[in-house]
Structure 1
Amino acid sequence: MQDDYPPVGLTASAISYDVFKNKDAEKNLKQYIRHENKDLALMVINHLLYVQHQQPFVEDIKQIYQNQEVSYEVSAASKDLLGRLGIIPNNFVFR
């Protein structure tokens, strides 16, 4: 999970969280959800679409989705995850 190249560390964290329920990995993912680099934030949200237990991230994702200053891409990815979980409608009518 410790790598100089963030995408490698994030991928390792996602795997470690999903397979081993590693709390350090969960913490790392939560930090990067809010990262100023939208590509890293998007990468984490994308990984979260595929983990079995997404619940620990829901409140963070809701906050990101409601933040007006977040890029469109990160907001849309957050909406997709929340919609997949059934928390909000995920369609063109719901904004």
Structure 2
Amino acid sequence: EVKELVELGVQVGVVIGGGNLFRGAGLAEAGMNRVVGDHMGMLATVMNGLAMRDALHRAYVNARVMSAIPLKGVCDDYNWADAIRELRQGR
């Protein structure tokens, strides 16, 4: 579906979550430090983003993963202006 939209010229941005892999709030109730749980959830989100990017690349669709958590060599640092520029450039 994403590929079809891109081929029509639509700028597509996808916001991914990580709840299928990890939910920090549930473990906070079980005693885990909430911040640690939230960080683990953010990493799960990046994992899902990497999986989506890989699927899109295999379908010959340009895609980027951006994260507010710096993960040099894994994904791009999130910056609103950079994200808009990437969309406009079809990446």
If the length of structure 2 is used for normalisation, what is the TM-score?
Answer: 0.32
Q: Which has the higher contact order (CA 8 A, sep 6+)?
A: 2
Asked which structure has the greater CA Rg, the reply is 2
Higher relative strand content: 2
